[in-house]
Amino acid sequence: MNILQALILGIIQGITEFLPISSTAHLIIIPYLLRWPLSNEQVILFHIFIQWGTLIALVVFFHSDLLDLCRAFINSIKSRRPFQNEKSRLCWLILISLPPAVIAYFLLINKVESIFSNPLITAFFLFGTAFLLIIAEVIGKRIHTIEALTWKNAIILGFFQAISILPGISRAGSCISGGMIQDLNRKDAARFSFLIGIPLLLISGINNIIDLINIQNLSQYLPSLLIGFIAAGLVGYFVLQWLLSYLSHHSLLPFAFYCILLGVFVIGNGLFISHPSLETTQTAKSQTINMTYPSSLRWVIPIASKCNATNSVLTLRFSFDSNNSSSAEAVAITYQPDVKPNISPYLLGHENFVIAVNSANPVSSLTLDQVSEIFMDTYKTWGDFSKSCNQCVSFTDATSFAEKDLTTWVYPPTSMEQAILQNIIIKENFLSVNAVVAPDPQALLEAIRFNPAAIGILPEHWLDKTIKSINIRDAGKNDLLFPILANVPSNLLETVKPLLLCIEHSIES
Protein backbone atom coordinates (compact mmCIF):
# COMPACT_ATOMS: atom_id res chain seq x y z
CA MET A 1 0.00 0.00 0.00
CA ASN A 2 1.53 3.30 -1.06
CA ILE A 3 1.15 6.72 0.58
CA LEU A 4 -1.56 7.95 -1.83
CA GLN A 5 -3.66 4.81 -1.31
CA ALA A 6 -3.28 5.16 2.46
CA LEU A 7 -4.33 8.81 2.32
CA ILE A 8 -7.42 8.04 0.22
CA LEU A 9 -8.46 5.15 2.46
CA GLY A 10 -7.79 7.23 5.59
CA ILE A 11 -10.11 9.96 4.33
CA ILE A 12 -12.74 7.35 3.43
CA GLN A 13 -12.45 5.84 6.92
CA GLY A 14 -12.90 9.28 8.49
CA ILE A 15 -16.01 9.97 6.40
CA THR A 16 -17.67 6.58 6.70
CA GLU A 17 -16.87 5.59 10.31
CA PHE A 18 -19.56 7.90 11.71
CA LEU A 19 -21.95 8.10 8.77
CA PRO A 20 -24.42 5.16 8.73
CA ILE A 21 -22.90 3.62 5.57
CA SER A 22 -20.24 1.20 6.97
CA SER A 23 -16.57 2.16 6.99
CA THR A 24 -15.50 -1.50 6.78
CA ALA A 25 -17.49 -2.00 3.58
CA HIS A 26 -15.84 1.00 1.97
CA LEU A 27 -12.33 -0.09 2.94
CA ILE A 28 -13.02 -3.42 1.23
CA ILE A 29 -14.98 -2.14 -1.77
CA ILE A 30 -12.89 0.90 -2.80
CA PRO A 31 -9.62 -1.07 -3.39
CA TYR A 32 -11.72 -3.69 -5.20
CA LEU A 33 -13.33 -1.16 -7.56
CA LEU A 34 -10.04 0.67 -8.16
CA ARG A 35 -8.28 -2.67 -8.68
CA TRP A 36 -5.56 -1.94 -6.17
CA PRO A 37 -3.45 -5.10 -5.62
CA LEU A 38 -3.81 -5.07 -1.84
CA SER A 39 -3.65 -8.34 0.06
CA ASN A 40 -6.23 -9.38 2.61
CA GLU A 41 -3.55 -8.97 5.29
CA GLN A 42 -2.90 -5.34 4.28
CA VAL A 43 -6.60 -4.37 4.36
CA ILE A 44 -7.17 -5.91 7.78
CA LEU A 45 -3.97 -4.41 9.19
CA PHE A 46 -4.83 -0.97 7.81
CA HIS A 47 -8.38 -1.10 9.16
CA ILE A 48 -7.14 -2.12 12.62
CA PHE A 49 -4.65 0.73 12.79
CA ILE A 50 -6.67 3.63 11.41
CA GLN A 51 -9.66 2.80 13.62
CA TRP A 52 -7.55 4.29 16.39
CA GLY A 53 -7.63 7.57 14.46
CA THR A 54 -11.42 7.73 14.42
CA LEU A 55 -11.56 6.50 18.03
CA ILE A 56 -9.37 9.41 19.10
CA ALA A 57 -11.58 11.78 17.10
CA LEU A 58 -14.60 10.36 18.95
CA VAL A 59 -12.95 10.78 22.36
CA VAL A 60 -11.84 14.35 21.59
CA PHE A 61 -15.31 15.30 20.36
CA PHE A 62 -17.08 13.90 23.44
CA HIS A 63 -14.28 14.65 25.92
CA SER A 64 -16.40 16.84 28.21
CA ASP A 65 -19.20 14.25 28.25
CA LEU A 66 -16.72 11.48 28.97
CA LEU A 67 -15.15 13.36 31.87
CA ASP A 68 -18.59 14.00 33.37
CA LEU A 69 -19.53 10.36 32.93
CA CYS A 70 -16.33 9.14 34.58
CA ARG A 71 -16.82 11.42 37.57
CA ALA A 72 -20.45 10.37 37.87
CA PHE A 73 -19.48 6.69 37.63
CA ILE A 74 -16.91 7.01 40.43
CA ASN A 75 -19.38 8.93 42.63
CA SER A 76 -22.11 6.34 42.01
CA ILE A 77 -19.79 3.56 43.21
CA LYS A 78 -18.80 5.52 46.28
CA SER A 79 -22.42 6.30 47.16
CA ARG A 80 -23.65 2.86 46.02
CA ARG A 81 -26.41 4.61 44.10
CA PRO A 82 -25.82 3.85 40.40
CA PHE A 83 -28.85 5.82 39.17
CA GLN A 84 -28.56 8.80 41.50
CA ASN A 85 -28.43 11.33 38.63
CA GLU A 86 -28.68 11.44 34.84
CA LYS A 87 -24.91 11.27 34.27
CA SER A 88 -24.31 8.20 36.44
CA ARG A 89 -27.43 6.59 35.03
CA LEU A 90 -26.22 7.14 31.47
CA CYS A 91 -22.81 5.71 32.32
CA TRP A 92 -24.32 2.51 33.73
CA LEU A 93 -26.61 2.17 30.70
CA ILE A 94 -23.53 2.31 28.47
CA LEU A 95 -21.92 -0.49 30.48
CA ILE A 96 -25.13 -2.55 30.38
CA SER A 97 -25.16 -2.31 26.58
CA LEU A 98 -21.63 -3.74 26.22
CA PRO A 99 -21.90 -7.53 26.85
CA PRO A 100 -23.75 -8.53 23.63
CA ALA A 101 -21.29 -6.63 21.42
CA VAL A 102 -18.17 -7.76 23.31
CA ILE A 103 -19.25 -11.42 23.25
CA ALA A 104 -20.05 -11.23 19.53
CA TYR A 105 -16.68 -9.58 18.86
CA PHE A 106 -14.58 -12.26 20.53
CA LEU A 107 -16.67 -15.14 19.19
CA LEU A 108 -16.92 -14.00 15.59
CA ILE A 109 -14.01 -11.69 14.73
CA ASN A 110 -11.77 -14.44 13.28
CA LYS A 111 -14.61 -15.80 11.13
CA VAL A 112 -15.61 -12.32 9.98
CA GLU A 113 -12.07 -11.44 8.87
CA SER A 114 -12.28 -14.15 6.19
CA ILE A 115 -15.07 -12.13 4.55
CA PHE A 116 -12.59 -9.31 3.91
CA SER A 117 -11.42 -11.15 0.79
CA ASN A 118 -14.88 -11.01 -0.82
CA PRO A 119 -16.24 -7.54 -1.68
CA LEU A 120 -19.45 -9.03 -3.12
CA ILE A 121 -20.49 -10.52 0.24
CA THR A 122 -19.66 -7.22 1.93
CA ALA A 123 -21.76 -5.34 -0.63
CA PHE A 124 -24.68 -7.68 0.07
CA PHE A 125 -24.57 -6.73 3.77
CA LEU A 126 -24.97 -3.07 2.77
CA PHE A 127 -28.59 -3.97 1.99
CA GLY A 128 -28.90 -4.94 5.66
CA THR A 129 -27.76 -1.48 6.71
CA ALA A 130 -30.23 0.11 4.29
CA PHE A 131 -33.04 -2.08 5.65
CA LEU A 132 -32.33 -1.02 9.25
CA LEU A 133 -32.28 2.68 8.32
CA ILE A 134 -35.56 2.45 6.41
CA ILE A 135 -37.28 0.51 9.22
CA ALA A 136 -36.04 3.09 11.77
CA GLU A 137 -37.53 5.94 9.73
CA VAL A 138 -40.82 4.11 9.07
CA ILE A 139 -41.69 2.82 12.54
CA GLY A 140 -39.67 5.09 14.86
CA LYS A 141 -41.78 7.77 16.58
CA ARG A 142 -38.73 9.91 17.50
CA ILE A 143 -40.42 11.28 20.63
CA HIS A 144 -37.92 10.41 23.39
CA THR A 145 -34.63 11.90 24.47
CA ILE A 146 -31.65 10.00 25.84
CA GLU A 147 -32.92 10.56 29.41
CA ALA A 148 -35.88 8.22 28.71
CA LEU A 149 -33.67 5.17 28.06
CA THR A 150 -34.07 2.17 30.38
CA TRP A 151 -31.76 -0.77 31.05
CA LYS A 152 -33.89 -2.88 28.67
CA ASN A 153 -33.36 -0.31 25.92
CA ALA A 154 -29.61 -0.41 26.58
CA ILE A 155 -29.45 -4.22 26.26
CA ILE A 156 -31.41 -4.11 23.00
CA LEU A 157 -29.04 -1.46 21.65
CA GLY A 158 -26.16 -3.74 22.64
CA PHE A 159 -27.56 -6.42 20.33
CA PHE A 160 -27.90 -3.87 17.53
CA GLN A 161 -24.24 -3.00 18.04
CA ALA A 162 -23.32 -6.70 18.04
CA ILE A 163 -24.63 -7.31 14.50
CA SER A 164 -22.45 -4.48 13.19
CA ILE A 165 -19.43 -6.78 13.43
CA LEU A 166 -20.43 -8.02 9.96
CA PRO A 167 -18.61 -6.08 7.19
CA GLY A 168 -21.25 -3.96 5.45
CA ILE A 169 -23.46 -3.54 8.53
CA SER A 170 -22.69 -0.02 9.71
CA ARG A 171 -22.11 0.22 13.46
CA ALA A 172 -23.40 3.78 13.51
CA GLY A 173 -26.33 2.89 11.26
CA SER A 174 -27.28 -0.18 13.29
CA CYS A 175 -27.13 1.58 16.66
CA ILE A 176 -28.91 4.74 15.49
CA SER A 177 -31.61 2.57 13.94
CA GLY A 178 -31.89 0.57 17.16
CA GLY A 179 -32.38 3.76 19.13
CA MET A 180 -34.94 5.18 16.71
CA ILE A 181 -36.90 1.90 16.63
CA GLN A 182 -37.22 2.39 20.39
CA ASP A 183 -38.58 5.89 19.73
CA LEU A 184 -35.44 7.95 20.43
CA ASN A 185 -35.06 11.07 18.32
CA ARG A 186 -32.39 10.89 15.64
CA LYS A 187 -29.79 13.12 17.33
CA ASP A 188 -29.99 11.42 20.73
CA ALA A 189 -29.99 7.98 19.11
CA ALA A 190 -26.79 8.98 17.31
CA ARG A 191 -25.23 10.47 20.45
CA PHE A 192 -25.91 7.32 22.50
CA SER A 193 -24.69 5.07 19.68
CA PHE A 194 -21.37 6.91 19.57
CA LEU A 195 -20.99 6.83 23.36
CA ILE A 196 -21.60 3.06 23.56
CA GLY A 197 -19.23 2.59 20.63
CA ILE A 198 -16.25 4.08 22.51
CA PRO A 199 -15.76 1.17 24.96
CA LEU A 200 -16.16 -1.45 22.21
CA LEU A 201 -13.73 0.33 19.88
CA LEU A 202 -11.28 0.64 22.79
CA ILE A 203 -11.53 -3.06 23.65
CA SER A 204 -11.09 -4.14 20.03
CA GLY A 205 -8.28 -1.62 19.57
CA ILE A 206 -6.32 -2.91 22.57
CA ASN A 207 -6.87 -6.50 21.47
CA ASN A 208 -5.64 -5.66 17.98
CA ILE A 209 -2.51 -3.93 19.29
CA ILE A 210 -1.33 -7.35 20.47
CA ASP A 211 -1.80 -8.71 16.94
CA LEU A 212 0.01 -5.69 15.47
CA ILE A 213 3.03 -6.22 17.72
CA ASN A 214 3.30 -9.82 16.55
CA ILE A 215 3.40 -8.88 12.85
CA GLN A 216 7.01 -9.35 11.75
CA ASN A 217 6.88 -6.98 8.79
CA LEU A 218 4.97 -4.17 10.54
CA SER A 219 7.73 -1.56 10.05
CA GLN A 220 7.35 -1.53 6.28
CA TYR A 221 3.69 -0.54 6.64
CA LEU A 222 4.19 2.22 9.25
CA PRO A 223 4.51 5.27 6.92
CA SER A 224 1.25 4.36 5.14
CA LEU A 225 -0.47 3.48 8.41
CA LEU A 226 0.45 6.81 9.99
CA ILE A 227 -0.82 8.77 6.99
CA GLY A 228 -4.12 6.87 7.10
CA PHE A 229 -4.33 7.26 10.89
CA ILE A 230 -3.94 11.05 10.76
CA ALA A 231 -6.30 11.48 7.81
CA ALA A 232 -8.99 9.31 9.44
CA GLY A 233 -8.80 11.19 12.74
CA LEU A 234 -8.95 14.69 11.27
CA VAL A 235 -11.70 13.98 8.75
CA GLY A 236 -13.67 11.89 11.26
CA TYR A 237 -13.85 14.73 13.79
CA PHE A 238 -15.47 17.15 11.34
CA VAL A 239 -17.80 14.51 9.87
CA LEU A 240 -19.03 13.66 13.37
CA GLN A 241 -19.73 17.33 14.05
CA TRP A 242 -21.62 17.66 10.78
CA LEU A 243 -23.66 14.48 11.25
CA LEU A 244 -25.06 15.41 14.67
CA SER A 245 -26.12 18.76 13.26
CA TYR A 246 -27.65 17.12 10.18
CA LEU A 247 -29.69 14.60 12.19
CA SER A 248 -31.44 17.35 14.13
CA HIS A 249 -33.62 18.08 11.11
CA HIS A 250 -32.99 15.44 8.42
CA SER A 251 -33.89 11.84 7.64
CA LEU A 252 -31.65 8.78 7.39
CA LEU A 253 -33.24 7.73 4.09
CA PRO A 254 -30.55 9.30 1.85
CA PHE A 255 -27.97 7.08 3.55
CA ALA A 256 -30.21 4.04 3.05
CA PHE A 257 -30.58 4.78 -0.67
CA TYR A 258 -26.82 5.29 -0.95
CA CYS A 259 -26.16 1.85 0.61
CA ILE A 260 -28.63 0.23 -1.81
CA LEU A 261 -27.08 1.91 -4.85
CA LEU A 262 -23.52 1.08 -3.79
CA GLY A 263 -24.45 -2.54 -3.07
CA VAL A 264 -26.17 -2.93 -6.45
CA PHE A 265 -23.25 -1.30 -8.26
CA VAL A 266 -20.62 -3.50 -6.60
CA ILE A 267 -22.56 -6.73 -7.08
CA GLY A 268 -23.32 -5.80 -10.69
CA ASN A 269 -19.66 -5.01 -11.24
CA GLY A 270 -18.69 -8.40 -9.87
CA LEU A 271 -21.28 -10.32 -11.87
CA PHE A 272 -20.95 -8.63 -15.25
CA ILE A 273 -17.45 -7.14 -15.33
CA SER A 274 -14.34 -9.30 -15.25
CA HIS A 275 -12.28 -8.57 -12.17
CA PRO A 276 -8.83 -10.24 -12.17
CA SER A 277 -8.14 -9.86 -8.44
CA LEU A 278 -11.41 -11.52 -7.46
CA GLU A 279 -10.95 -14.28 -10.01
CA THR A 280 -7.44 -14.92 -8.71
CA THR A 281 -8.69 -15.15 -5.12
CA GLN A 282 -11.54 -17.49 -6.03
CA THR A 283 -9.22 -19.68 -8.10
CA ALA A 284 -6.62 -19.74 -5.33
CA LYS A 285 -9.12 -20.86 -2.71
CA SER A 286 -9.95 -23.91 -4.78
CA GLN A 287 -6.30 -24.92 -5.33
CA THR A 288 -3.94 -27.05 -3.34
CA ILE A 289 -0.32 -26.01 -3.81
CA ASN A 290 2.60 -28.29 -2.99
CA MET A 291 5.55 -26.34 -1.54
CA THR A 292 8.82 -28.28 -1.61
CA TYR A 293 11.98 -27.35 0.25
CA PRO A 294 15.52 -28.65 1.00
CA SER A 295 16.62 -29.30 4.57
CA SER A 296 18.61 -26.04 4.73
CA LEU A 297 15.48 -24.00 4.14
CA ARG A 298 13.22 -25.88 6.55
CA TRP A 299 13.05 -22.70 8.67
CA VAL A 300 11.15 -20.91 5.87
CA ILE A 301 8.18 -23.31 6.09
CA PRO A 302 6.73 -21.98 9.41
CA ILE A 303 6.87 -18.49 7.86
CA ALA A 304 5.03 -19.72 4.75
CA SER A 305 2.45 -21.47 6.91
CA LYS A 306 1.85 -18.36 9.02
CA CYS A 307 1.58 -16.15 5.94
CA ASN A 308 -0.93 -18.50 4.35
CA ALA A 309 -2.97 -18.66 7.56
CA THR A 310 -3.10 -14.85 7.54
CA ASN A 311 -4.13 -14.59 3.88
CA SER A 312 -6.35 -17.71 3.93
CA VAL A 313 -6.32 -18.16 0.15
CA LEU A 314 -4.51 -21.44 -0.49
CA THR A 315 -4.34 -24.98 0.73
CA LEU A 316 -0.62 -25.64 1.17
CA ARG A 317 1.10 -29.00 1.40
CA PHE A 318 4.75 -29.02 2.44
CA SER A 319 7.21 -31.72 1.45
CA PHE A 320 10.96 -32.21 1.72
CA ASP A 321 12.64 -32.45 -1.68
CA SER A 322 16.41 -32.56 -1.91
CA ASN A 323 16.24 -32.09 -5.69
CA ASN A 324 13.70 -29.20 -5.54
CA SER A 325 11.80 -30.45 -8.53
CA SER A 326 9.05 -28.14 -9.74
CA SER A 327 5.90 -29.49 -11.31
CA ALA A 328 2.71 -27.87 -12.54
CA GLU A 329 1.39 -27.85 -8.96
CA ALA A 330 4.64 -27.30 -7.01
CA VAL A 331 6.38 -24.18 -5.75
CA ALA A 332 10.00 -25.04 -4.92
CA ILE A 333 11.87 -23.07 -2.25
CA THR A 334 15.57 -23.24 -3.15
CA TYR A 335 18.88 -21.41 -3.39
CA GLN A 336 19.25 -21.76 -7.14
CA PRO A 337 16.94 -20.89 -10.04
CA ASP A 338 15.14 -23.67 -11.82
CA VAL A 339 16.13 -23.61 -15.48
CA LYS A 340 13.12 -25.62 -16.61
CA PRO A 341 10.83 -23.92 -19.15
CA ASN A 342 7.79 -22.09 -17.77
CA ILE A 343 9.35 -21.79 -14.30
CA SER A 344 9.67 -18.27 -12.84
CA PRO A 345 12.19 -17.67 -10.02
CA TYR A 346 10.84 -15.26 -7.35
CA LEU A 347 13.37 -13.73 -4.93
CA LEU A 348 12.24 -14.22 -1.32
CA GLY A 349 15.36 -13.00 0.47
CA HIS A 350 18.88 -14.09 1.28
CA GLU A 351 20.62 -16.65 3.48
CA ASN A 352 24.09 -16.09 4.93
CA PHE A 353 26.32 -19.16 5.08
CA VAL A 354 28.95 -19.23 7.82
CA ILE A 355 32.00 -21.28 8.74
CA ALA A 356 30.80 -22.95 11.92
CA VAL A 357 32.70 -24.49 14.84
CA ASN A 358 31.90 -25.52 18.39
CA SER A 359 31.65 -22.57 20.78
CA ALA A 360 34.64 -24.05 22.67
CA ASN A 361 36.84 -23.81 19.55
CA PRO A 362 39.58 -21.18 20.16
CA VAL A 363 39.80 -20.11 16.51
CA SER A 364 38.67 -16.47 16.15
CA SER A 365 39.15 -15.65 12.45
CA LEU A 366 40.33 -17.09 9.13
CA THR A 367 40.92 -16.09 5.55
CA LEU A 368 39.24 -17.76 2.59
CA ASP A 369 42.53 -19.39 1.65
CA GLN A 370 42.93 -20.80 5.15
CA VAL A 371 39.42 -22.22 5.04
CA SER A 372 40.27 -23.82 1.70
CA GLU A 373 43.47 -25.31 3.16
CA ILE A 374 41.56 -26.73 6.14
CA PHE A 375 39.00 -28.45 3.91
CA MET A 376 41.77 -29.81 1.63
CA ASP A 377 43.38 -31.70 4.51
CA THR A 378 46.46 -29.44 4.81
CA TYR A 379 46.47 -29.69 8.61
CA LYS A 380 46.11 -32.82 10.72
CA THR A 381 45.41 -31.12 14.05
CA TRP A 382 44.35 -27.70 15.25
CA GLY A 383 47.85 -27.36 16.72
CA ASP A 384 49.29 -27.79 13.21
CA PHE A 385 47.02 -25.04 11.98
CA SER A 386 47.96 -22.69 14.83
CA LYS A 387 51.62 -22.90 13.81
CA SER A 388 50.72 -21.34 10.43
CA CYS A 389 48.56 -18.61 11.96
CA ASN A 390 49.32 -17.76 15.57
CA GLN A 391 47.00 -14.76 15.54
CA CYS A 392 44.05 -16.92 14.44
CA VAL A 393 43.99 -19.11 17.54
CA SER A 394 44.10 -18.35 21.26
CA PHE A 395 44.60 -21.63 23.12
CA THR A 396 43.76 -21.63 26.80
CA ASP A 397 44.62 -25.29 27.23
CA ALA A 398 47.33 -26.15 24.73
CA THR A 399 47.62 -29.79 25.74
CA SER A 400 43.98 -30.66 25.08
CA PHE A 401 42.72 -28.76 22.06
CA ALA A 402 45.93 -28.39 20.05
CA GLU A 403 46.30 -32.15 19.83
CA LYS A 404 42.76 -32.80 18.60
CA ASP A 405 42.39 -34.03 15.04
CA LEU A 406 40.94 -31.32 12.81
CA THR A 407 37.64 -32.84 11.62
CA THR A 408 36.05 -31.37 8.50
CA TRP A 409 32.39 -31.96 7.72
CA VAL A 410 30.91 -31.62 4.26
CA TYR A 411 27.59 -32.33 2.55
CA PRO A 412 26.75 -34.92 -0.12
CA PRO A 413 28.34 -34.04 -3.50
CA THR A 414 24.93 -33.43 -5.15
CA SER A 415 23.60 -31.08 -2.47
CA MET A 416 23.25 -27.32 -2.90
CA GLU A 417 25.14 -26.74 0.35
CA GLN A 418 28.17 -28.64 -0.95
CA ALA A 419 27.98 -26.76 -4.25
CA ILE A 420 28.14 -23.50 -2.29
CA LEU A 421 31.13 -24.74 -0.29
CA GLN A 422 32.84 -26.01 -3.44
CA ASN A 423 32.30 -22.93 -5.61
CA ILE A 424 32.96 -20.17 -3.09
CA ILE A 425 35.41 -21.56 -0.56
CA ILE A 426 37.12 -24.56 -2.16
CA LYS A 427 38.46 -23.39 -5.50
CA GLU A 428 39.45 -26.91 -6.57
CA ASN A 429 37.54 -30.16 -6.76
CA PHE A 430 39.77 -31.84 -4.20
CA LEU A 431 38.51 -32.28 -0.66
CA SER A 432 39.97 -34.04 2.35
CA VAL A 433 39.65 -37.78 2.09
CA ASN A 434 39.05 -37.72 5.82
CA ALA A 435 36.06 -35.34 5.57
CA VAL A 436 32.85 -36.68 7.08
CA VAL A 437 29.61 -36.36 5.13
CA ALA A 438 26.59 -34.85 6.87
CA PRO A 439 23.33 -35.55 5.03
CA ASP A 440 21.84 -32.19 6.03
CA PRO A 441 22.49 -29.09 8.20
CA GLN A 442 20.75 -30.68 11.18
CA ALA A 443 23.25 -33.58 11.18
CA LEU A 444 26.18 -31.21 10.72
CA LEU A 445 24.91 -29.04 13.58
CA GLU A 446 24.77 -32.08 15.87
CA ALA A 447 28.27 -33.16 14.82
CA ILE A 448 29.82 -29.78 15.61
CA ARG A 449 27.86 -29.56 18.85
CA PHE A 450 29.24 -32.95 19.90
CA ASN A 451 32.85 -32.50 18.70
CA PRO A 452 34.74 -29.28 19.62
CA ALA A 453 37.35 -30.04 16.95
CA ALA A 454 34.85 -30.18 14.07
CA ILE A 455 34.37 -27.51 11.41
CA GLY A 456 31.79 -27.14 8.63
CA ILE A 457 29.58 -24.69 6.80
CA LEU A 458 26.07 -23.90 8.04
CA PRO A 459 23.22 -21.64 6.98
CA GLU A 460 23.12 -18.83 9.55
CA HIS A 461 19.55 -19.69 10.63
CA TRP A 462 20.84 -23.03 11.98
CA LEU A 463 23.29 -21.55 14.50
CA ASP A 464 22.55 -21.87 18.21
CA LYS A 465 24.36 -21.09 21.48
CA THR A 466 26.57 -24.18 21.22
CA ILE A 467 27.87 -23.16 17.78
CA LYS A 468 29.76 -20.07 16.70
CA SER A 469 30.65 -18.65 13.31
CA ILE A 470 34.23 -17.77 12.46
CA ASN A 471 34.95 -14.36 11.01
CA ILE A 472 36.32 -14.58 7.45
CA ARG A 473 38.64 -11.58 7.27
CA ASP A 474 38.93 -11.21 3.52
CA ALA A 475 35.38 -12.19 2.55
CA GLY A 476 33.13 -9.55 1.00
CA LYS A 477 29.73 -8.99 2.56
CA ASN A 478 28.07 -10.88 -0.31
CA ASP A 479 30.59 -13.72 -0.73
CA LEU A 480 28.60 -16.11 1.46
CA LEU A 481 25.20 -14.50 0.94
CA PHE A 482 22.93 -16.56 -1.27
CA PRO A 483 19.48 -15.77 -2.69
CA ILE A 484 16.47 -17.71 -1.47
CA LEU A 485 14.19 -18.31 -4.42
CA ALA A 486 10.73 -19.64 -4.98
CA ASN A 487 10.67 -21.46 -8.33
CA VAL A 488 7.07 -21.01 -9.40
CA PRO A 489 5.31 -22.44 -12.46
CA SER A 490 4.39 -19.39 -14.55
CA ASN A 491 0.70 -20.26 -14.54
CA LEU A 492 0.66 -20.13 -10.70
CA LEU A 493 2.62 -16.91 -10.18
CA GLU A 494 -0.36 -14.54 -9.84
CA THR A 495 -2.16 -17.03 -7.59
CA VAL A 496 0.66 -17.38 -5.08
CA LYS A 497 2.10 -13.86 -5.35
CA PRO A 498 0.35 -12.49 -2.19
CA LEU A 499 1.77 -15.44 -0.26
CA LEU A 500 5.27 -14.90 -1.70
CA LEU A 501 5.13 -11.19 -0.84
CA CYS A 502 4.30 -12.01 2.76
CA ILE A 503 7.14 -14.55 2.98
CA GLU A 504 9.54 -12.03 1.42
CA HIS A 505 8.61 -9.31 3.92
CA SER A 506 8.94 -11.73 6.84
CA ILE A 507 12.37 -12.97 5.75
CA GLU A 508 13.84 -9.54 5.09
CA SER A 509 12.40 -7.83 8.19
Ordered structural domains, the chain, with CATH: 3-278 (no CATH), 281-348+486-508 (3.40.190.10), 351-482 (3.40.190.10)
Q: What is the reported pLDDT for 14?
A: 92
- Asked whether the whole model's pTM tops 0.85, one would answer no
- Burial label for 104, CB within 10 Å (0-12, 13-18, 19+), is buried
Q: What is the reported pLDDT for 234?
A: 95
Alpha carbon distance 361, 395 (integer Å): 9
Q: Flag the least confident range among 39-53, 216-230, 320-334.
A: 320-334
| Residue-averaged pLDDT of the chain | 82
Q: What is the reported pLDDT for 310?
A: 65
Per-residue confidence at 287, pLDDT binned at 50, 70, 90?
low
Q: Which amino acid is located at 260 in the chain?
A: I
Coil/strand/helix, residue 350: strand
Per-residue confidence at 57, pLDDT binned at 50, 70, 90?
very high
Instruction: Considering only residues 185 and 270, tell me which one the structure prediction assigns the higher pLDDT.
Output: 185
pLDDT, one tens digit per residue, over 201-221 is 888 888 777 666 655 456 666
Mean pLDDT of 22-48: 76
Q: What is the reported pLDDT for 272?
A: 65
Alpha carbon distance 313, 282 (integer Å): 8
Q: What secondary structure does DSSP assign to 435-480, as a single string?
A: PEE-SSHHHHHHHHHH-TTEEEEEEGGG--TTEEEEEETT--TTTT
Q: Which helix (H) or strand (E) holds 27?
A: helix 23-34
Instruction: Considering only residues 75 and 115, tell me which one the structure prediction assigns the higher pLDDT.
Output: 75
Q: What is the reported pLDDT for 482?
A: 83
Q: What is the reported pLDDT for 298?
A: 86
Mean pLDDT of 278-303: 71
Q: Give percent above pLDDT 90 in the chain.
A: 25
Per-residue confidence at 99, pLDDT binned at 50, 70, 90?
very high
DSSP alpha helices (H): ranges in 182-299? 186-213, 218-246, 253-272, 276-285
- Backbone phi, then psi, for 472, in 5-degree steps? -100, 105
Q: Flag the least confident range among 126-135, 324-333, 481-490.
A: 324-333
Q: What is the reported pLDDT for 283?
A: 46
Q: What is the reported pLDDT for 286?
A: 47
